[in-house]
Every structure is written in structure tokens, then in C-alpha cells.
Amino acid sequence: MDITILEEGGTTILHIAGRLDTVTSPELEQTVKPLIDLGAVVVFDCEKMDYVSSSGLRVILSTYKQLAAVGGKFTIRNLNKEVQSVFDLTGFSRLLNIE
Amino acid sequence: MSYIAKRYRRPSILFLVLLMMLCSCEYCMAADAAESSSFWSILLSRDMWCVILGGLKTTVIIFFFAIIESLLVSSLLTYLAITNKCQWFYKPMHWFVTTIRDIPSVALMMLFYYVIFAGKVNGIIVTIIAAGLYTSGAIEGIFTRNINKVGKGQIEAGRALGMTTRQCYRYIVLPQAAKMMIPTLTDQVKIQLRITSYAGYIAQTDLIRAVFDVQNIYSDMLAPLLVASLFYLIMAKSIIRGVRVITTKLFKYD
Amino acid sequence: MIELKHVYKSFDGCQVLNDLSLKLVEGESVCLFGSIGCGKSTLLRCLAGLEQLDSGEIVFSGGERPRIGMIFQQFNLFPFLTVLHNLTLAPKQVLGMSTAEAERIAMAQLDSIGLAHKSHLFPHELSAGQQQRVAIARALVMKPQILLIDEPLSSLDPISRGEVMDVLRKLKSEITLVISTHDIQAASELADRIAILDEGYICEDGSVDEVLTSPRQEATRRLLSYMRDLHYTIESVQFDRPELNSRIEQFCSRYGLNAKASRYVQLVVEESLNLVPLEGGARLQLAKMNDDMRMMLDIVTDEAGVLYADESTCRDDLSLSILRGLCDVLEERVEGSMHILHMELSKARLQ
């Protein structure tokens, strides 16, 4: 998995490429930790993410909850069909802000 | 200028410059002019050269025959080790040539001359025998290790192509082993050259002993020592070149 | 052409060939099929004369040993010689050919496998597939009547496999081949006849269609099932997940499933492993059920007790909800001391 971080007008965008699974989700968790700040706006751009499992979903859920607690905003965008179906199965697509 | 002259031009010039600097120092430090001229008179004297060249001849003879003996003994032992033949001969002989390396070569030489041969055999022959046996254990180890480094799969591929085991070793294993063993083999051959200098301990006039003989005549060692060192340097360089040329030419794929 | 009669061979007390008998007919392409370590390579080496038999005999028709060439799994090219010299060494030393004649034949052989332009290179400068093709060409310059090929594809990546398979397909019609492999696909493509090795003897021998589709012997059925299916043993929680994912990918590509289907199966496996306790180990079996591309996944543990696929007792409800959405069938059963989590995926989900 590759994570590229870009800042755009106060928004931190994480471009996630590859697999988000049991092996790689700790890396995402560590990357996101320092970004959780008062009023932070974080976006996960998942255009190049081709696989997500429950471990990845937990990191995403945890990021959402932490940002909500500090008044921040969390968005996920550009999910492909396969990954979207996993979000749909688990109800995450109803919970999270997906573009 | 010939190839050999070109190759040795730089070290030769360096040596001559060093020699001249030493001689200048000798002249400056001399109590009187007579002393400094003694270096040049010794260097140019016929007697010195006769003694030195006599010692050189002995050294070259001992070295040449000892290395031949060493290579023959180590090749035989390597052959027996690989083929597992004549173990009744191989095992004791292998033990002997590897054990004698723990004895200082001077002591070994004296042991052979004064004890084993009881001083009754010509000293040059004894030196050749002792020096040859001394390095054969190491050379056998070099041969065996480098031959075993070549993958067994290549021998099998050769045999699968219809080659005999002997052909496999000659055309597949030895060319590769020879290339790998050049550095270590060169070191052992140079050690053999150094061992010849111990012949003086059993009353043979090799090159080093000749230096002492010149000192006894002229009460001065500088000139003969410099000349002897130059000869050793030339022989060592020749060994390096010779081992490389012989091993690569012997196993070159034509 | 060659008959092996009651052949025995052991190494350090381990019996590798155990009363093995086999007939090889001229012009035929025979595949020796079996799991790793069953004695295929040893049998080939005995035929090539590289190993001595403990007992038994190898009989050659006409009393004369035919010219036998052998190709090795690790290629065994001579690294200090160029490709051309690799091919000319044996003709010059064994057949007494002149350098010019040997080079002419070698270049013709290299040309036939498409590597004439690489004749001046050394083996380490070639890819694995090219090295194996050079090894084949090197054996062929000696004009063997029988060519023994030991696991020709196991050291190769998929592209190199394709290159070497092309060469072997051409050879099949030209020369008697004996190929050892544990690759079912290669066996079915390259062989006229297949001999199954199990525990050092031939347990079944017949045409490829007969043996692969309707094996008569239980040992053959067991072996084919083992070779076709993916079996993976997990020893603890810390197991090599990337390796398992790679094995799943290979398994799916064997059946022509694309990357998307492979990721789907990997997700099912990952989520189902979250449901079962791995501390005591587990065994995973992934199999294609029938021609309809239906996949079956069984995860077997020796842990009795709680139900894994029940919301009230499961270890991970998120994984369970994902699995319920991904699988057509999700059930668990207990068989003796074994607890089996069984899943099925239909063809529609994998396409």
C-alpha cells in the first residue's frame, strides 16, 4: 500500500493506493494519527485502492470517530465498485460521508 | 620498448631513485669520502656479483624443484580426495602434510637435514624435499576447496551430455576452479619463495646466505642486501604474473 | 525402447524408488506425475545413468543403450562459457566435431529456439526462461533419442513458462520425452501418457485423459485432489499472509480467474480467518467444485466449543457480516474433533 499526503486549501488529502488489509492497515493508522487535530478536514481518496477488508474498515471507522470527537470532518471519495460493495455490505456507506 | 620492459619500467625507475637517494645519504653521512665510495666499489665489484649470483642460482633451483614437487604431491592428494581412491595412502599423507605446517619451516628444514637424513644427503635436495612438502598441504587445500566450489550440477550436466567424469573435470570444473584459486595459489607460491631463504640454516648458500658471505668479505651489507631484495622483488612479480598466465592458458576454452 | 523392472533405490536409509516398473515406448511422451519428493527426479537420474540402482534392472531394446539427454530443473548451464560455447563443448569433446561444425550445428539449434542473437552472452545475462531454452538446445545438439526433463517449469515465472512450453510442445512430436512434473496443466498439455508416482512406485499408468479425469486408484484420486486444490496449513496467528494471498492468486489464475475474482477469494479467506481461533493452528482447503467454477473453502480447526458463524458467539461481527454478504453458503459443522467452517462461492460472484 502507498499513501501520499497532500494539503489543499486546509484539507489534508490522503491518496491510498493498493490493498488495505490486516497487514497494511496499521500503517494507515500510524499515518493518520498526527493528522487528528481540532477542526481538521481529512479526505481519503481511494481511487487506486483495490481491496479493503474488515481491518481497513476499522481504521476508517476509528478515523471517523476521532475526527468527529475533535469537531473535524472526514470524507471518503472515489471508491471503486468492489470496495464500495464491501462498504455497502457492512453499512459503512450509510454511516460515512462518501463522495 | 618491449612489453616486459614497459611493465617493469616504473618499479625499476622507482628502485633506482631509491638506490641513488640511499647512496647520497650514505655519502653525506660518511666520516670521510673513502667510506662512501666503498658502497659503489662493493656494488661494482666482481666478487660480490659472483657470490650473489651463486646464491641466486641456488635459490632459483630450490624454488623451481620445490614448487614442482609441491604441485605434484598436492595434485595427487586432491585426486585421491575427490575420487576416494587409495585411502590407505591418502589419509596418512594428508595428515602428514597438514600437520607439518604447524612446525616453523626453519625447524622443519633442520629436522629433515640433521635428523631424518642425518646430514648425509645434499642440503639442496633436503631443502627441496622439505620446502615442497611444507607447502603441498596448503596447496592441496586450495585445490580441493576451489574444485568443490564448482556446483555438482554442472558435472551432472556434463555427464548427461555424454562427457566422461575426467572430461567434466578437465573442461568444466578445472577452468572455473583455476580462475578462483589464482590469488590464494599465488600467495602460497610466494611463501615457497620465502621458505628457500631458510636453506642458509642448513649451510646452503642461497641468496640471503650470499648476502652474509659478502658482508664477511667487505664488512658491509648494504649493497648486497639491496641487490638481493631487488632479485626477490623481480621473482615475486614474476610469480604473480606466471601463476595467472599458466592457470588461464592451461584451462582456456579453445 | 526402455523398460525398468522392479527397480529399488534408497538414499541414507530412505527408500525413494520402491519396486518401480515402467515401460517407455519410442516416440511417446510420458509424464511422471507426483508430489514433491515422491521419486520422479531420482527415477530420471537413474535412467540418465547419474545414479546407480540398489537392485532391479533397466533393459534397453536391442541391447544397446540409446542416446539419452537430460534437462535439469536448475538448468545447470556452464556459467563461464557463452551460450554458443555451452552448446559446442560436448559435440567437440564427445563427438570429436571440429569447432566450425559444432558452431554451425549450435547456431542452427539456437535459431530454432529463437536465441541465435544471444549466442555471445553468458548464462547470467539471460532470463530464467531463456536459460532453460538454452539448456534444451544444449541437450538437443547431441541428438538424443530420449530426452529426460526434470521439472522444466518449476523455477520459472509465468512469462518464462510460456516460452519454455512453446519449445516443449514442438519437441513432443519430434522426440521421445520423459517429463517429471507436479504441474497438472503441463502434464495434460505435453504428455501422451501419464504415470503417477506415489511412495516410490507407479500406482497408475495410462493415457492422460483416463488418468486425470477417471483415475482408478484411490492414491491417484487423493494426489490429484491435493494437486488441484489449494491446501494451506496455518500454524499460529503470526502466519505469512502475503504468501497465502500469493497462493490464492496462483490457484485462481490456474482456473482462468482474473485479478478481481482473486481479490474476492482473498477477502473471503481473510474475513473467515478472523472468525476462527488461529492460536492452535488451522488448515485451509480451497477447491473448485465442478466445471461450473463454483469454489469451496473449508477452514478446519481442532478447537471445539463456540460457534464461529453465529452473531452471539462470533469473534468478529464485522467479518461475519462481510462474509455473509460475500458467500452463497456459510455454514459450520463439527466432525469428530474437527470444527469446519464451510463456505461456497458461485460462479456469478467470481466473474
pLDDT tens readout for residues B26-77: 554 544 444 555 778 888 888 888 888 888 888 999 999 999 999 999 999 9
- Interface touch B162/C67, C-beta < 8 Å: yes
- Residues of C with Cβ-Cβ distance to A22 under 8 angstroms: 241, 270, 274
DSSP, residue by residue, C257-322: --HHHHHHHHHHHHHHHHHS--TT-EEEEEEE-STT--EEEEEEES--SS-SS-TTT-S-HHHHHH
Q: Do B160 and C69 touch (CB under 8 A)?
A: yes
Q: Please name the member of C49, C85, C139 whose beta carbon is closest to the beta carbon of B253.
A: C85
Q: What is the DSSP letter of B113?
A: I
**Has residue B111 been placed in a domain?**
yes
Give the SS3 label for residue C13.
coil
Q: Does residue B232 fall inside a structural domain? A: yes
In terms of Cα–Cα distance, which of C326, C260, C263, C339 is closest to C298?
Answer: C339
Q: In chain A, what's the furthest Cα-to-Cα distance?
A: 34
In a domain, B194, yes or no: yes
User: How confident is the model at residue B21, as a pLDDT?
Assistant: 61
For C349, the closest chain A residue by CA position comes to A82
CA A87 to each of CA A54, A84, B236, C325: distance values in angstroms, whole numbers, following the listed order: 10, 5, 78, 11
Flag whether pLDDT at B204 surpasses 90. no
C284: left (phi over 0), alpha (psi -120 to 50) or beta: beta
Minimum CA–CA partner of C239 in chain A: A23
Chain C CB contacts of B176 under 8 Å are 79-80
3-state helix, strand, coil in chain B (%, to 5): 85, 0, 15
Residue with cell 566422461: B164
- Phi then psi for A20, rounded to 5 degrees? -115, 95
Residue B11 to residues B2, B5, B14, B190, C294, Cα–Cα distance (Å): 15, 10, 5, 19, 80
On chain B, the residues whose CB falls within 8 A of the CB of C77 are 157
* Rounded alpha-carbon distances, angstroms, from residue C322 to A52, B245, C298, C351: 11, 72, 17, 18
How many domains, chain B?
A: 1
Burial class of residue B105, CB neighbours in 10 A (0-12, 13-18, 19+):
buried
Does residue B34 lie within any of the structural domains? no
Contact A50 C263 (CB under 8 A): yes
Residue B28 within any structural domain of the chain: no
Q: List, edge to edge, every strand of the sheet that includes C14-24.
A: C14-24, C2-11, C55-60
pLDDT at C306: 67
Burial class (CB in 10 A: 0-12, 13-18, 19+), C95: middle
Is C138 close to B161, i.e. CB distance below 8 A?
A: yes
Q: Which of B233, B225, B207 is nearest to B60 (CA)?
A: B207
pLDDT at B32: 46
Instruction: Evaluate if residue B7 carries a pLDDT over 80.
Output: no
Q: What is the pLDDT of residues B66-123, one digit of tens each?
A: 999 999 999 999 999 998 889 999 999 999 999 999 999 889 888 998 899 888 888 8
Residue B203 pLDDT level (bands cut at 50, 70, 90): low
pLDDT score recorded for residue B222:
86
| Contact (CB, 8 A) for C332 and C342 | yes
The whole-angstrom distance between B156's CA and the closest CA on chain C is 7
The region, left, alpha or beta by phi > 0 then psi within -120 to 50, assigned to residue A78 is: left
B and C touch with 3+ CB pairs <8 Å, answer yes
How much is the pLDDT for B33? 45
Residue C58 CB-half CA count within 13 A: 19
Residue matched to cell numbers 516443449: C168
CATH number, domain with residue B52: 1.10.3720.10
Confirm whether B11 is domain-assigned.
Answer: yes
8 Å CB contact between C195 and C30: yes
Of B55, B53, B60, which Cα lies nearest the Cα of B192?
Answer: B60
Annotate C222-260 with DSSP letters as a single string: HHHHHHHSEEEEE-SSS--HHHHHHHHHHHHHHTT--HH
Reported as type and span, the H/E element at residue B88 is helix B87-99
Q: Closest-CA residue in chain C for B178?
A: C80
Q: Tell me how close the Cα of B162 comes to any Cα of chain C, in angstroms.
A: 6
Please, where are the H alpha helices in C16-157? 40-48, 83-93, 99-112, 128-140
> Tell me: the pLDDT tens digits for A9-64?
889 999 999 999 999 999 999 999 998 888 889 999 999 999 999 999 999 999 99
Q: Does B contact A via 3+ CB–CB distances below 8 Å?
A: no
Neighboring chain C residues of A85 at a CB cutoff of 8 Å: 325
Task: Report the alpha-carbon distance of residue C161 to residue C158 in Å, rounded.
Answer: 5
Q: Which residues of C touch A51 (CB under 8 A)?
A: 263, 266-267
pLDDT of residue C121: 95
**What residues of A are in the C interface, CB distance below 8 Å?**
21-23, 50-51, 53-54, 57-58, 82, 85-86, 89-91
Q: Which residues of chain C have a pLDDT value below 70? A: 290-293, 303-307
Q: Is residue B66 part of a domain?
A: yes
Indicate whether B29 belongs to any domain. no
Task: Tell whether B158 is within 8 A of chain C (Cβ).
Answer: yes
Interface predicted TM-score (ipTM): 0.92
Q: Give me the residue from B154, B162, B167 closest to C78, CB to CB.
A: B154
> What burial class does residue C72 get, using C-beta atoms within 10 Å of its C-beta: 0-12 exposed, 13-18 middle, 19+ buried?
buried
Contact A54 C318 (CB under 8 A): yes
* Phi, then psi, of A17 in degrees rounded to 5: -120, 140
Q: Hey, of C93, C140, C150, which one would you mutate to test binding to chain B, going by the most B CBs within 10 A of its CB?
A: C93
What pTM was estimated for this model as a whole? Answer: 0.70
Q: Which domain holds residue B61?
A: 3-22+39-250
- Kindly report the length of chain A: 99
The pLDDT mean for chain B works out to: 84
Q: In chain C, which residues have their Cβ closer than 8 Å to the Cβ of B154?
A: 76, 78
Whole-Å CA distances, C176 to A90, C67, C154, C268:
59, 11, 21, 45
pLDDT of residue C101: 94
Three cell numbers written together for C182: 507436479
CA–CA separation, C27 and A5 (whole Å): 64
Report which secondary-structure segment, H or E, holds C149: strand C146-150
- Do residue C89 and residue B253 have CB atoms under 8 angstroms apart? yes
Percent of chain C predicted with pLDDT > 90: 33
C67 vs B contacts (CB less than 8 Å): 162
Spatial separation of the C-alpha atoms in residues B85 and C293, rounded to whole Å: 61
